[in-house]
Amino acid sequence: PDHCRLPPDPGPCKARLPKVFYNWQAKRCQGFTYGGCHGNLNRFDSVEMCQLACGGQGRGAPSCQEWNSATVVFFHCSFPKEFLSPSSCLACEER
């Protein structure tokens, strides 16, 4: 779908919500911080939802990919919906 080609758009609001967008150039779903209002349709609650919406066009999120914003840092393990602390991320890589 065309919305999978849109860049991540945090919108003008100030909430700091972890979301996922499809990175068309990298051909995978990646994290970003959403402000809570407006934005665009390239915004999903999970990597799984992103992959379903934007197809098998990429590899998904890499194991222990760090998603970083100005004030929010969270990690995604290759196991679905498992958000980890930085210290746990190393354990994820070793699994």
pLDDT at 57: 52
Q: Closest Cα to residue 13, out of 43, 48, 49?
A: 43
pLDDT at 55: 76
pLDDT at 56: 60
Residue-wise burial string across 58-85, b where 16 or more C-beta atoms lie within 10 A, e elsewhere? bebbeebbebeeeeeebbbbeeeeeebe
Which ranges in the chain belong to alpha helices (H)? 47-54, 86-94
- pLDDT by position in tens, the chain (length 95): 899 999 999 999 999 999 999 999 999 999 999 999 999 999 999 999 999 999 765 454 444 444 443 333 444 444 444 443 344 444 444 33
Domains of the chain plus CATH, in order, are: 2-55 (4.10.410.10)
Rounded to whole angstroms, the Cα distance separating 46 from 57 reads 16
